Amino acid sequence: MNLLRFLNVQGIAGLAASLALAILLLVQRGETRHWQRQSGHFEQLYTHEQAALAGTVANYRATAQQAEASDKANAQRVAAEQHTINERTEHDFEARLAAACSLAQRLRVQSAAAAADPGSGANPPMPGLSAPAGRPHQAASENRLPQPDALTATEQSIQLDELIKWVKKQAAVGPNAPR
């Protein structure tokens, strides 16, 4: 008790404050250790998240490059198919047009030959019939177009027919997936 005699109110307050500060210091050290551990854990989480983000970005870039390459290949495929369709249609059009012109020329020659020699048919003339038309093609073309106009109409019909086929074939080319 001798010691308490030397302590006055200020000494006791000083001891209490020192004891409180020591306790606060211990608590602070515990908190510091806790937050250092938490900081390390959060740093690891951050590092993992950054790595995951970098992986995601790399995957998106790789996927975008793959999609771009696929789009280019698909565009080349579509262009090649369309080019083939164009060439085939042009060839078919020219062949049909040449056949129509050849047929028209052959009909003109036959018509001219029949007009020049009306009695040259294989059948003998029949007696008692009324007079035939001046030229055989006159009777056949009574309600029809004249030959030059008929050829033009045939050419236009072939052209429209080939255009319809071309449109259908072009529409059938799938722009998104190879056949």
Give the CA angle between residues 12, 17, 20 to the nearest 5°.
Answer: 125
Question: For the chain, which ranges sit under pLDDT 70?
Answer: 1-6, 118-143, 177-179
| Three-state secondary-structure class, residue 101 | helix
Q: What is the pLDDT of residue 6?
A: 64
Q: Which of 137, 149, 140 is nearest to 108 (CA)?
A: 137
Q: What is the pLDDT of residue 62?
A: 96
Q: What pTM does this model have?
A: 0.54
Q: What is the pLDDT of residue 72?
A: 93
